[in-house]
Amino acid sequence: MVTVKELPKEEYLLKGHAACAGCGPAISLRLLFKALGNKIIMVVPACCTTVIQGPYPYTSSAVPLQNILFESTGAAASGITAALRQRKLEDITVVGWAGDGGTVDIGIQALSGAAERGTNFIYVCYDNEAYGNTGMQRSGATPYGAWTTTTPSGKRERKKDMPLIMAAHRIPYVATACTSYPMDFVNKLRKAKGIKGTKYIHLLAPCPTGWRYDTSKTVELGRLAVQTGMWVLYEIEDGKFRLNSPSDRLVDKSKRKPIKEYFGLQGRFRGLSEEDVERIRKWLDEDWEHYRKLAGNSVSDQALYGKI
Amino acid sequence: MGQTIIDTANHIAGYAARAARVKVVAAYPITPQTTIVEKIAEFVENREMDAEYIRVESEHSAMVACIGAAATGVRTFTATSAHGLALMHEALHWAAGSRLPIVMAVVNRAMGAPWSIWPDLSDSLSQRDTGWIQFYCADNQEVFDTIIQAYKLCEDERVFLPAMVCLEGFILSHTYTPAKIPDQEKIDAYLPAYKSGWTLDVDRPCSHANLVSPEWYMEFRYMIQEAMDNAKRLIPQIDKEYGKRFGSEYGGLVEKYKCEDADLIMVTMGTMGSDAKLAVDKLRKEGQKVGSARVRVYRPFPVEEIMKLAENTHILATIDRHISFGMEGFLASETKASLFNQKDRPLIAGFIAGLGGRDVTSETIEKVAKKSLKCMKEGKVEKETEWVDLRE
């Protein structure tokens, strides 16, 4: 486990990048570089980072970065890792860094193909739960009830469970993370770096612009997402599911904060009715029951009795 | 010395990829291309080829995997047909815009709907404006030679563009003919290991293909146009040098046959060029001064060569295995466009033939020639585009 003091001082996300104030993905990208160092090749499809990195002839990335087509991060990574193998440069880590639209919607095919082929790379989906770069349209990762520009009265469908879809590919490592839990994210990246094959990390990254909250509240929002149980931190290593702190203490739903605290801070949930909230509560209980089963009784018992 | 083998054009394309010492192949099956990537899989698995073989889940991913690999500094190859090529379309732009010298065999097949697996050139010609160099082959030997030449050309720093080597489905792809495969040492001497123009390099970090403002975008496009002009200059030189080393030469951009004194020149692409030669011989015996010009390189388009051909002739007959709906065949349009500013330009008669694999024989071409000679005598082309052998 790396602690915050052990993080390198070097910055590979350079100053002057073009992210919005309070951008969750930018905070996490900076940490990703610190966690993985500069012997990496980034593959970035169309997403907010297309803009964040800055226009030619500038860049805010101090590591080599290949911009690539929206739906094709997995395929580009397969080509790069194959070439690195031919050139005997396998000590270089290949990282896909894509938004939720580029992952759960348009990019799911290439990602699924890359995972099935066992492409040796880390894929991070930074999920702000909508198409942010184009001005907040609904994606498959947008949660039920959320306002977007293409769901002005709130999305009527549920969020796609992408990490478990990736787990179904039987890849060696799947994890969730959140901008507000930096060391959890850093340690998951470090662990992923040491594993051969496809590693998938799904990062919930709060977005003040799209979620409609004050730019000072990004970290608070991410914490609330986890503390209310709306986002769950876990990892699946070689098929073994494990809840991570603090989610591992939230199997008992009385330990979770009320979901209304999370919704209340965000303009995008302003249209939620009492019925909507009740529906989400019911789904949340079902989801947690599923996680409890995945984690097995021992873990949940520990969590229930507070022994961790 | 090399060896002479008897095999299909598809397998011969596989031999060419092996001879070029390609390092990464990304492959997805589609008829009639599939036997190319099957042959390469065989070569990789029995270790005749030291290459990574990526079995992608779509053609779009095949092209993007090639882009990723080429950007990481290795020689790449893929192959496709029709709908596979159409699916790649977006990635074709990305490959050319990224100035990556990827070489791809395109086994020409008609586009649906309705489904067809038989040949015409509408698949590759629809990719005209993607920034790819396009070669069209007339026989199996030319498929081998052109793939090798394509790497030589594309990897030249004055070019750095990708290329399609096109061959018509079944007419060539599945037809066995003899072909000479040169000794590997000679190929190696001709085509040294790939030296990339740029790579994803941890020691020289850079963002590639990031957002470009209107202040810069046009210059990047102009550089591609310059590279195409350079390719136009280099292709005849490469063809000549290759001919000296390996014995086969194809006339550079346009293969001309008995054009010097011709009143009528048949302008074709692909295998029709071979049938056109037979038709020329027959018509010459009958006393008609006919020649054949096979456009071997469609992008860059050989404008100057077409102008030269037009100087001493009375009529050009273009035969397109393609139609741009609402207009005519591209070969007709571009031949006309090439000559617009020329003084005393000849008549041009456009013909559409062989769509979706409809057979085009030397007799078909004779028929076209006779119609064109009639236009010549009458001094006018009444029908801008004529569809050959169309059912009533």
Instruction: Parse chain B into domains and list their residue ranges.
Output: 3-246, 255-387
Q: How far apart are CA A114 and CA A198, in angstroms?
A: 8
Number of H helices, E strands in chain A: 10, 8
Residues whose CB falls within 8 Å of the CB of residue B36, separated by 6 or more in sequence, listed in order: B10, B11, B13, B14, B17, B79, B105, B107
> B3-246 and B255-387 share one CATH topology?
yes
Q: Which of A78, A112, A116 to mutate to test the interface with B (most CBs of B within 10 A)?
A: A78
In B247-288, alpha helices (H): 272-285
Token code pair at residue B243: 């001919």
DSSP string covering A70-87:
TT-HHHHHHHHHHHHHHT
Burial class (CB in 10 A: 0-12, 13-18, 19+), A51: middle
pLDDT in tens, B253-265: 999 999 999 999 9
Q: Which amino acid is at B2?
A: G
pLDDT at A1: 86
What distance in Å separates residue A37's CA from the closest CA in chain B?
11
Q: Among 3.40.50.920, 3.30.930.10, 1.10.287.130, 2.30.30.90, name the CATH number for the domain at B255-387.
A: 3.40.50.920
Q: Measured between beta carbons, which residues in chain A are less than 8 angstroms from residue B90?
A: 69
pLDDT greater than 90 at residue A303 = no
- Asked if ipTM goes beyond 0.95, one says yes
Q: Give the largest Cα separation in chain A, rounded.
A: 59
Question: For residue B383, what are the contacts with CB-CB under 8 A and spacing of at least 6?
Answer: B349
Judged by CB atoms closer than 8 Å, whether chains meet at B207 and A67 is answered as yes
DSSP letter (8 states) at residue B114: S
β-pair partners for B165: B105, B135
Mean pLDDT on A230-255: 96
Sign of the CA dihedral with B238 first, then B241, B242, and B243 last: positive
C-alpha B172/C-alpha A222 separation (Å) is 60
Decide if B133 contacts B158 (C-beta within 8 A). no
Does the pTM surpass 0.90? The reply is yes
Answer whether B151's CB lies under 8 Å from B188's CB: no
> What would you measure as the largest C-alpha separation in chain B, in angstroms?
70
Write the DSSP assignment of A256-285 as a string of letters: SPPHHHHHHT-GGGTT--HHHHHHHHHHHH
Answer whether residue B78 shows pLDDT above 50: yes
Contacts of B118 (CB under 8 A, 6+ apart): B109, B110, B169, B170, B356, B357
Compute the distance between CA of residue B240 and CA of residue B40 in angstroms, rounded to an integer. 28
Domains, chain A, in order of start with CATH, read 4-305 (3.40.50.970)
pLDDT tens digits for range B47-74: 999 999 999 999 999 999 999 999 999 9
State the CB neighbour count (10 A cutoff) for residue B203: 7
User: What whole-number distance in Å separates Cα of residue B128 and Cα of residue B228?
Assistant: 13
Residue A290 has a pLDDT of 95
**Chain A: nearest CA to B133, how far in angstroms?**
21
Q: What is the pLDDT of residue A301?
A: 44
Q: Which residue of B has its CA nearest to A113?
A: B57
Residues of B in contact with A110 (CB under 8 A): 57-58, 60-61, 64
Number of residues that this document lists for chain B = 392
pLDDT at B392: 87
* CATH topology (fold) of B3-246: Rossmann fold (3.40.50)
Q: Name residues 86-105 of chain B within 8 A of A (Cβ).
A: 90-91, 94
pLDDT at residue A304 above 60? no
HEC readout, B209-240: CCCCCHHHHHHHHHHHHHHHHHHHHHHHHHHH
Contact A79 B54 (CB under 8 A): yes
Edge to edge, the sheet with strand A93-99 lists: A240-243, A234-237, A173-178, A198-204, A121-127, A93-99, A40-44, A65-67, B207-208
Q: Among B22, B50, B72, which would you mutate to test the A interface (most chain A Cβ atoms within 10 Å of its Cβ)?
A: B72
- Residue B129 contacts A, CB cutoff 8 Å: no
Which chain A residues have any C-beta within 8 angstroms of a chain B C-beta? 38-41, 43, 50-51, 53-57, 59, 61-69, 71-72, 74-80, 82-87, 92, 109-110, 112-113, 116-117
Q: How many Cβ pairs closer than 8 A exist between chain A and B?
A: 154
Closest partner residue to B24 (CB to CB) among A79, A116, A117 is A79
